[in-house]
C-alpha cells in the first residue's frame, strides 16, 4: 500500500537515505530494524513529508504522496513520533479531540470512547495537562491520538523507547489487538523481540538502504543477519 | 502631592487603559510569533494605519463606522502583506524577517505621509462617549472607560476562542509543535494566515481606538513598537496569559512610575525588562514551558 522507490532524503545538506526501497503491504505490519543512525526514523519522517524527498518516489495506494505533512495525514497516514509530541498546552482530552473531531471515521471507526476503551488509563486523566503524564501514558496518548485520525496506515517510531517493561508489554498487547483488526502498520524499533513478535514483514536498514528483507520468523532464524546488521 | 483613594483609583484606571491598548497590539504579535516564529516588526505600523484609516473614515461616516471598518481595512492590508511578502519569507530566517519588516515600517510610514501629509490627523470621540463618568468619588473620561471595557471584551473573546474551541486548540497545538500539528492534518499555514489577519485587525482596532486619545501622526507606529515588544518579552512568547500579564505590568509600571517616581520613570520599565531577562529569560508565561 505504501511504496518507497530509490528515495534519497536527509537533513539539509546531510543525506541519510541512499536509494531506500521498501514496501508496506495492506493489512500487514512491517518492522524496520537497524542500528542507531541507520536511517529508520529518517524514513518515517520522509514518508510524513517532514523531510523533503530529494529524489525517488513514494506512493500510497498507487498514487504519489502529496508533499506537505498535513496533506499526507489527510490521505490516511497517522504518525506516532519517537518523541511522542504530546501538545503540552492541551489537556489529554484536547489532544485526543484535535484528531477525533476532524477525522470522523466510518460507523465502526475510532471514537473517543473506543480509544479510552483501548487505554483506560487515559480516561482517568482526561483533564490533565499533556505534560503531567508519565512516559508510558504519553505513549498511549500519542497512539490513541493517531488512531482517532482513523488512519489506513499507522506508523510508529520506537514506541517502547524508555518505557518500563510492564508498559512495553501493555503497548505490545494493544498493538497486537490493532494488528488482529488488520490495521496496516509500519513499526520502527530497537527492541528486536518486541518488533519481530508483532511484525509480518521485516526490512533491515543500514547506511540509508535496505540490506535485508524477509519475514519475521526468517529474521529470528537468521543469526548471521542479526549479527551483521543488528548486533544482537 | 495629595495621595488618597481617588488618586489611586484614577491612576489604576489610567494604567488599565494603557494596558488594554498594549494588549490589543501585543496579543496579535505574540501569537503570530509563537505560531510561526515570524518576527513582524511592522505590527506597530499597522496600528498607525488603523488610526489613519479611522480618522479618514470618520470624516465620512462618523466614529462608529471608523471603529468597525478600520480593523477590516487593516486586516486587508495584512492580506496583501501576507501574500506579497510574508508567505515568501516564512523559511528565510529571523534576520531577513526582521530586516524586511523593519524596512516595511518606514515604507508604511512614508506612505501615510504621502497620503495624509505630516500634519496630525484628528479623530473625535463620539458624542455618547465624550463626557466623564463619576464613580468612587472621582470623575473619569467615558472614552477611556470604553477602551478598558473594549480590551476586557476582546480578552474574554480571545480567552474563549483560544481556550474552549476547536480552532483555539489547533492554534495552541500549532504554537506548541507545528510539525506535529501538521502531522495531525492541521493546515498550519492556513491557520497562520487566519491568525495573522486577526492580529492585524486587532492592531488596526488598537489604532482606531487610540486615535481620539492622541494625535494621529506617522510616527505613532514606531512609538508603540518598543512598548509592545517589551510587553511580549516580559510576558513570554506565544501566550494570551503572557500578553495580558505583560500589558498589565507595563501599564502599571509606566503609569505609577510617572507619578510616583518621575525621575526614574523612563528607566523603570527597562530595568524591569532586564530583570525579567536575567531571572526568567523566556518571560513570565511563555507558551512553551
What confidence score (pLDDT) does residue B289 get? 54
What confidence score (pLDDT) does residue B136 get? 80
Model confidence at A130, pLDDT cuts 50, 70, 90, reads confident
Do A63 and A81 fall into the same domain?
no
CB B199 within 8 A of CB B43: yes
DSSP letter at B216 equals: B
Q: How buried is A150 (Cβ within 10 angstroms: 0-12 exposed, 13-18 middle, 19+ buried)?
A: middle
Average pLDDT of span B229-242: 92
Strand order from edge to edge, sheet including A153-157 = A77-80, A153-157, A184-188, A29-33, A201-206, A209-215
Q: Tell me whether residue A4 is in a domain.
A: yes
What confidence score (pLDDT) does residue B2 get? 54
Do A94 and A58 fall into the same domain?
no
Do A53 and A81 fall into the same domain?
no
Do A61 and A90 fall into the same domain?
no
Closest CA to A142 of A206, A202, A85: A85
Q: Tell me whether residue A171 is in a domain.
A: no
Model confidence at B287, pLDDT cuts 50, 70, 90, reads confident
Q: pLDDT digits over A28-54, tens only?
A: 999 999 999 899 999 999 999 999 999
B184 shares contact with chain A (CB less than 8 Å): yes
Q: pLDDT digits over B138-182, tens only?
A: 889 999 999 999 999 999 999 999 999 999 999 999 989 999 999
Which of B169, B175, B179 minimises the CB distance to A97? B169
Look at chain A and report how many structural domains it folds into: 2
Between the alpha carbon of residue B146 and those of residues A164, B41, B141, the distances in Å are: 58, 28, 9
**CATH code of the domain covering residue A8:** 3.40.50.300
Q: pLDDT digits over A168-178, tens only?
A: 999 999 999 99
Model confidence at A232, pLDDT cuts 50, 70, 90, reads low
Q: pLDDT digits over A173-199, tens only?
A: 999 999 999 999 999 999 999 999 999
The residues, any chain, with a CB within 8 Å of residue A4's CB and separated by 6 or more, are: A20, A21, A22, A23, A43, A46, A47, A56, A57, A58
Tell me: pLDDT of A101 over 90. Answer: no
Higher pLDDT, B78 or A232: B78
Structural domain for A111, as ranges: 77-151
Average pLDDT of span A119-128: 94
Which of B175, B182, B287 minimises the CB distance to A70? B182
Q: Where would I find the beta strands (DSSP E) of chain B? A: 132-135, 138-141
pTM value is: 0.89
What confidence score (pLDDT) does residue B233 get? 94
Closest CA to A6 of A23, A20, A24: A20
Closest CA to A167 of A145, A213, A134, A199: A134
What confidence score (pLDDT) does residue A66 get? 74
Average pLDDT of span B70-95: 92
A89 shares contact with chain B (CB less than 8 Å): yes
What confidence score (pLDDT) does residue B3 get? 63
Q: How far is CA A91 from the centre of its chain?
A: 23
Do A135 and A109 fall into the same domain?
yes
Model confidence at B38, pLDDT cuts 50, 70, 90, reads confident
Which of B172, B179, B289 minimises the CB distance to A90? B172
Tell me: pLDDT of B241 over 90. Answer: yes
CB B151 within 8 A of CB B18: no
B164 shares contact with chain A (CB less than 8 Å): no
Closest CA to B27 of B174, B219, B246: B246
Q: Tell me whether residue A110 is in a domain.
A: yes
Q: Tell me whether residue A107 is in a domain.
A: yes
Q: What angle do CA A175, A177, A181 make, to 5 degrees?
A: 110
Q: Tell me whether residue A10 is in a domain.
A: yes
CB B48 within 8 A of CB B112: yes
Flag whether the ipTM exceeds 0.95: no
Do A98 and A112 fall into the same domain?
yes
**Which of A128, A151, A174 corresponds to the end of one domain?**
A151
CB A229 within 8 A of CB A32: no
d(CA B145, CA B132): 9
CB A38 within 8 A of CB A32: no
Tell me: pLDDT of B81 over 80. Answer: yes
User: Residue A79, by phi and psi: left (phi above 0), alpha (psi -120 to 50) or beta?
Assistant: beta
Tell me: pLDDT of B23 over 70. Answer: yes
Output the DSSP codes for B259-270.
HH-TTTHHHHHH
Output the DSSP codes for B128-175.
GGSSEEEETTEEEEHHHHHHHHHHHHHHHHHHHHHHHSHHHHHHHHHH
Q: Which residue has the cell 513598537?
A: B225
Do A105 and A146 fall into the same domain?
yes
A48 shares contact with chain B (CB less than 8 Å): yes
CB A20 within 8 A of CB A7: yes
Tell me how close the Cα of A223 comes to any Cα of chain B, in angstroms: 37
Do A144 and A98 fall into the same domain?
yes
Tell me: pLDDT of B209 over 80. Answer: yes
d(CA B131, CA B141): 6
- For an interface test with B, which of A46, A79, A87, A88 has the most B Cβ atoms less than 10 Å from its Cβ? A87
Closest CA to B192 of B47, B30, B31: B31
Do A1 and A28 fall into the same domain?
yes
Do A143 and A113 fall into the same domain?
yes
Which residues of chain B from 113 to 142 reach within 8 Å of chain A, CB to CB? Answer: none
Q: How far is CA B260 from the centre of its chain?
A: 26
Contact list in B for residue A157 (CB cut-off 8 A) is none
Q: Tell me whether residue A3 is in a domain.
A: yes
Expressed in angstroms, the distance from the first to the final Cα of chain B is 44
Radius of gyration of chain B (CA): 19
Do A100 and A60 fall into the same domain?
no
What confidence score (pLDDT) does residue B157 get? 96
Grid cell in block for residue A211: 540490506
Q: Tell me whether residue A65 is in a domain.
A: yes
Grid cell in block for residue A213: 528483507
CA dihedral for A212, A217, A218, A219, sign (positive or negative): positive
Tell me: pLDDT of B1 over 60. Answer: no
Q: Tell me whether residue A166 is in a domain.
A: no
Tell me: pLDDT of A56 over 60. Answer: yes
Q: Which residue has the cell 497590539?
A: B25
Q: Which residue has the cell 483560544?
A: B162
Q: Where would I find the beta strands (DSSP E) of chain A? A: 2-11, 14-24, 29-33, 53-60, 63-64, 77-80, 153-157, 184-188, 201-206, 209-215
Average pLDDT of span B227-250: 94
φ, ψ of residue B264 in degrees (nearest 5): -100, -15
What confidence score (pLDDT) does residue B275 get? 95
Average pLDDT of span A136-149: 96
Do A106 and A127 fall into the same domain?
yes
Amino acid at each position: 500500500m505504501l511504496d518507497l522507490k530509490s528515495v534519497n532524503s536527509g537533513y539539509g545538506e546531510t543525506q541519510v537515505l541512499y536509494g531506500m526501497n521498501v514496501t508496506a503491504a495492506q493489512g500487514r505490519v512491517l518492522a524496520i530494524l537497524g542500528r542507531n543512525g541507520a536511517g529508520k526514523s529518517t524514513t518515517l519522517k520522509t514518508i510524513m513529508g517532514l523531510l523533503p524527498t530529494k529524489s525517488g518516489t513514494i506512493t500510497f495506494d498507487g498514487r504519489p504522496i502529496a508533499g506537505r505533512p498535513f496533506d499526507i495525514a489527510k490521505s490516511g497516514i497517522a504518525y506516532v513520533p519517537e518523541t511522542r509530541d504530546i501538545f503540552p498546552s492541551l489537556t489529554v482530552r484536547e489532544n485526543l479531540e484535535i484528531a477525533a473531531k476532524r477525522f470522523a471515521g466510518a460507523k465502526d471507526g475510532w471514537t473517543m470512547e473506543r480509544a479510552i476503551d483501548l487505554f483506560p488509563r487515559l480516561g482517568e486523566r482526561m483533564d490533565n495537562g499533556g505534560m503531567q503524564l508519565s512516559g508510558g501514558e504519553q505513549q498511549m496518548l500519542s497512539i490513541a491520538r493517531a488512531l482517532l485520525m482513523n488512519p489506513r496506515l499507522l506508523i510508529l517510531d520506537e514506541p517502547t523507547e524508555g518505557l518500563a517493561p510492564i508498559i512495553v508489554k501493555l503497548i505490545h498487547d494493544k498493538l497486537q489487538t490493532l494488528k488482529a483488526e488488520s490495521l496496516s502498520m509500519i513499526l520502527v524499533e530497537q527492541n528486536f523481540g518486541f518488533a519481530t513478535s508483532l511484525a509480518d514483514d521485516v526490512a533491515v536498514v543500514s547506511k540509508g538502504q535496505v540490506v535485508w528483507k524477509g519475514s519475521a520468523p526468517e529474521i529470528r532464524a537468521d543469526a548471521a543477519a542479526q549479527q551483521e546488521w543488528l548486533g544482537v | 502631592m495629595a495621595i488618597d483613594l481617588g488618586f489611586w483609583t484614577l491612576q489604576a484606571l489610567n494604567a488599565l487603559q494603557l494596558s488594554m491598548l498594549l494588549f490589543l497590539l501585543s496579543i496579535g504579535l505574540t501569537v503570530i510569533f509563537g505560531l510561526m516564529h515570524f518576527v513582524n516588526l511592522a505590527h506597530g505600523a499597522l496600528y498607525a494605519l488603523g488610526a489613519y484609516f479611522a480618522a479618514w473614515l470618520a470624516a465620512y461616516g462618523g466614529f462608529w463606522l471608523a471603529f468597525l471598518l478600520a480593523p477590516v481595512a487593516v486586516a486587508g492590508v495584512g492580506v496583501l502583506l501576507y501574500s506579497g511578502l510574508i508567505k515568501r519569507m516564512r523559511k528565510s530566517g529571523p534576520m531577513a524577517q526582521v530586516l524586511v519588516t523593519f524596512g516595511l515600517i518606514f515604507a508604511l510610514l512614508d506612505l501615510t505621509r504621502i497620503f495624509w501629509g505630516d500634519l496630525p490627523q484628528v479623530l473625535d470621540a463620539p458624542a455618547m462617549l465624550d463626557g466623564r463618568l463619576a464613580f468612587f468619588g472621582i470623575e473619569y473620561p467615558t472614552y477611556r472607560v470604553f477602551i478598558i471595557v473594549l480590551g476586557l471584551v476582546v480578552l474574554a473573546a480571545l480567552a474563549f476562542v483560544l481556550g474552549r474551541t476547536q480552532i483555539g486548540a489547533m492554534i495552541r497545538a500549532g504554537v506548541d509543535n507545528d510539525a506535529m500539528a501538521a502531522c495531525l492534518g492541521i493546515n498550519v499555514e492556513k491557520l497562520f494566515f487566519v491568525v495573522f489577519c486577526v492580529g492585524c485587525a486587532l492592531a488596526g482596532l488598537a489604532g482606531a481606538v487610540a486615535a481620539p486619545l492622541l494625535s494621529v501622526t506617522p510616527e505613532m507606529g514606531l512609538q508603540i513598537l518598543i512598548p509592545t515588544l517589551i510587553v511580549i518579552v516580559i510576558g513570554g512568547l506565544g501566550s494570551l496569559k503572557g500578553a495580558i500579564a505583560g500589558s498589565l505590568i507595563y501599564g502599571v509600571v509606566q503609569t505609577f512610575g510617572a507619578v510616583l517616581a518621575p525621575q526614574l520613570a523612563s528607566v523603570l520599565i527597562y530595568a524591569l525588562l532586564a530583570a525579567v531577562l536575567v531571572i526568567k529569560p523566556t518571560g513570565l508565561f511563555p507558551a512553551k514551558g
